[in-house]
Amino acid sequence: MTWPQPPSCLIASRLAEPPNGARVTVAGLVILRQRPGTAKGVIFITLEDETGVVNVIVWRKLYERFRRAVIAGRMLRVTGRVQRENGVTHVISEEIEDISPLLDRLLDTP
């Protein structure tokens, strides 16, 4: 099986399928942003789609590059690498895109 390539997105319920280190793209509503003081500038974002949640890690350098999307985005598309550790799956972000304008289209559906 080949994994979806950007701009296609992998749904949360299928995040266990790609091998560790695989590059994936996920998207969802931002339901949580955390920036613990002990995390040395790392930001943790939780995205939710219709099938579940995705944990995203944003390293400090990447945050500086995608600051606006990370701070203001209500819905994000994130491309990065799958990381599994101690039974927890994260996506280590490489690119972050604010796709919040797509939410407005939901109101246009009949």
The CATH number of the domain holding residue 52 is 2.40.50.140
Q: Is residue 99 part of a domain?
A: yes
pLDDT, tens digit (0-9, with 9 covering 90-100), for 55-108: 999 999 999 999 999 999 999 999 999 999 998 999 999 999 999 988 877 666
- DSSP lists the bridge partners of residue 29 as 48, 75
Question: How crowded is residue 94: how many other Cβ atoms within 10 Å of its Cβ?
Answer: 15
What amino acid occupies position 24? Answer: V
Instruction: Give the integer Cα–Cα distance in Å for 8 and 75.
Output: 15
pLDDT, tens digit (0-9, with 9 covering 90-100), for 25-56: 999 999 999 988 877 889 999 999 989 999 99
User: Beta 88-98 vs 52-58: how paired, if at all?
Assistant: parallel
- DSSP lists the bridge partners of residue 32 as 46
Range of the structural domain that residue 80 is part of: 12-106
Q: Can you give the pTM of this predicted structure?
A: 0.87
